Amino acid sequence: MEQLVLDLTNPQARENALLELSKKRESFPELAPYLWHSFGTVSALLQEIVAIYPLLSPPSLTAHASNRVCNALALLQCVASHPETRSLFLQAYIPMFLYPFLNTISKTRPFEYLRLTSLGVIGALVKVDDTDVIAFLLSTEIIPLCLRTMEMGSELSKTVATFIVQKILLDNVGLNYICATAERFFAVSAVLNAMVAALPEQPSTRLLKHIIRCYLRLSDNTRAREALRQCLPALLRDPGFTVCLKDDLQTRQWLAQLLVNVGLQHGDPAFSHIMEATGIQA
């Protein structure tokens, strides 16, 4: 493994090293510090990323080029995940190099794979509850980039992007940021509403779970809660729509609490069904 890391700085050996390290990274727990502290290694990974920028617009990314840069991104995800290198990763502003990939609109497989792998790096950062990570991301354009993916990505990309927004909202700094202005709140709620509206045609229980958690967290803010009374999708009150959650007690409880928070009344047809299913009391 050490030789493969060294090979990353050799242009002739780099492609094979990227492939082998990305496949074997789980078996090398200290790969992240080794990558970060090895001379020239992170620069080599960034070279791989920057090299395909010209292929983004007009879209001309091939499957081979996409796979190669995604292997480099997989190694950066290791660095983003490791407690020893996470803060160094942020201090070097490495996530900014990924944002051009999230700003693409092509739905072809090479672009979708690139978006998904880039989101995986950001997802690795937010998995650990760290206000410094959230503050860093909010100082960048991560929210609009995630919202774009939530609008036009594949189901999996939408799910990861929604998870990132969820983790940002779960931090008080993130919730306050998004609810600080009506423009930010309605930008997020409009995309969440559109995703709910699309779910009957393209069902995804996993995606619905993250959407509900985002709404519930928004309802913790007083002004956002008042707005949600008016703009929460009617489908979330429809037992026929939410029946897909019958085996997911946690998400059913989140939904019930959300509906209570936005003022679901005993006279509402959905009230008794949801309350009985979850045990939540108004």
- Closest alpha carbon to 130 in 176, 94, 160, 86: 86
- Render pLDDT for 211-251 as a digit per residue (tens, 0 to 9): 999 999 999 999 999 999 999 999 998 888 988 898 899 99
Residue whose token pair is 């090895």: 38
CB 249 within 8 A of CB 278: yes
pLDDT of residue 282: 43
pLDDT in tens, 21-43: 999 998 898 999 999 999 999 99
| pLDDT score recorded for residue 270 | 58
- Counted residue by residue, the chain has a size of 282
Structure tokens at 279: 């045990």
Q: What is the dihedral of CA 97, 101, 104, 108, to 10 degrees?
A: 160
Residues near 169 by beta carbon (within 8 Å), at least 6 away in sequence: 175, 178, 214, 217, 218
The residues, any chain, with a CB within 8 Å of residue 24's CB and separated by 6 or more, are 1, 4
Burial of 245 by CB count in 10 Å (0-12 exposed, 13-18 middle, 19+ buried)? buried
Q: What is the pTM of this model?
A: 0.93
